[in-house]
Chain A
Amino acid sequence: MATAAEHQTARSEPGVTGTDAASTAAYESAFDAAVAADERIEPRDWMPDAYRASLVRQIAQHAHSEIIGMQPEANWITRAPSLRRKAILMAKVQDEAGHGLYLYSAAETLGTGRDELLDKLHSGRQKYSSIFNYPTLTWADVGAIGWLVDGAAITNQVPLCRCSYGPYARAMVRICKEESFHQRQGYESLLALSRGTEAQHAMAQDAVNRWWWPSLMMFGPPDDESSHSEQSMIWKIKRHSNDELRQRFVDICVPQAESLGLTLPDPDLSWNEERGHHDFGPIDWTEFWAVLKGNGPCNEQRITQRKSAHDEGAWVREAAAAFAAKHGEAKA
């Protein structure tokens, strides 16, 4: 079995070019062996084109989700009901912009650029998580997003800390730490509402009712309809199937909902002794595909805002570039 060191050697051997079939085969087997041995693939290593493309798609979509995901929460910054909650929310939205930056950098190590990725987001050629197409209608939605949406994201992302691609795995380690913090704050905010006045409790329950099913959809289509899953698992980009992670999330949330004093909006939810898991009701996949295809409640609004921020900021970016050119400053 080749080690990462040998793999590196194969990559950097003088006179060998990737165009000749024999050396391509050698690269491929070194790559496969490195992945099989749980070694990290690094930016300068040879990798199959499809692996590169798959990672660019996934990391870009992840980065886009962070920056589109700022909108539903930023919607409440100016209305946060206490200065403490306002500070927490501002810090969270700031972290999300930071996560977007880490992830665009990780994607750039694969030979693409942030401008190109943003262009694909703005033109709809790359997607972001379907969850951010739902509106934040009350303050409790901010707590529900922290608890459920960040909770689902963490369940999805913790295994990515062991992803085969080094820069992505390292970005995920940093991101998961911050996300866990946000998730606890979201839970704590919902708890305050749940234990607060009757109106606050009702607000919290209503938010959980609206965010529960969309959160389950964050794990993606069922395993038999997930087009990228199988290859991603072979490449160790992905470690667990969509349905497996979704089940894990449900099992985590049920006792948390109980201690919050809130119910989950699923009459079929029950403990299955034999499986050692909670059974849960059917997901409305028609809604999922509709949102994914652009017909959710806020798809249009989210992209329009993102594009207008970008377009209205064009003169600022141009100014920074012109100034840098004049003064030899690094591009802002």
Chain B
Amino acid sequence: MKVLVPIKRVIDYNVKARVKSDNSDVDLTNVKMAMNPFCEIAIEEAIRLKEAGTATEVVAVTIGAKASQEQLRTALALGADKAIHIETEEKLESLHVAKLLAKIVEQESPELVILGKQSIDSDNNQTGQMLAALTNRGQGTFASKVDVDSGTVKVTREVDGGLQTVELKLPAIVTTDLRLNEPRYASLPNIMKAKRKPLEVIAADSLGVDLAPRIQLVSVNEPAKRTGGIVVEDVAQLVEKLKTEAKVI
């Protein structure tokens, strides 16, 4: 079984994003970038399926500028067999990404596509679902457990109020939640080996997808600042303040 794992290069999750002074966007110059944490989990799950003998090949794919090849190399170092870079300088929306990925799904025909449930920059939580729609596949979103059987996959999903398990016919699309697994670190020998693994570059324009923007970014602003609070001495003072000053209890 072939598994396709789309990944995204994003701001490192420890970095606090700063808004540009002209309010046009978030400032990403000289900011540490990394693989989106949910995508790391997706790669890890695919590698585990390979180690369990369920998957035969793991293909990592990313869409973005040249620099995103760094994240593909990371995926290869973690155990992916080959990588595909869809190169574009444009800032794409989820729908564009899903359409481009649908072309790769057509080309590679993976039985399972595993994506992160959301990227920590745009926080959209859309791409996996859109890809499932465009490829007419079943979707198992926010997965905390994935069990592949012959011809089907059982996905335990993290939903409000608990867990829901669904069974999908293969081929299918799965998106990862945080508790699906704990991603491994790439070892130095594996990082060296990854440099020799195949990485195919495809120009986004060559895939015949209309990449015209559907959403216009009007402005980006700092969120409302919270006013600095006070430190109370003890519990009695805290309760007193909550009762008389804040009037919330």
**A and B co-occur in one complex:** no
Q: Which residues of A contact B (CB under 8 A)?
A: none
Q: Which residues of B contact A (CB under 8 A)?
A: none
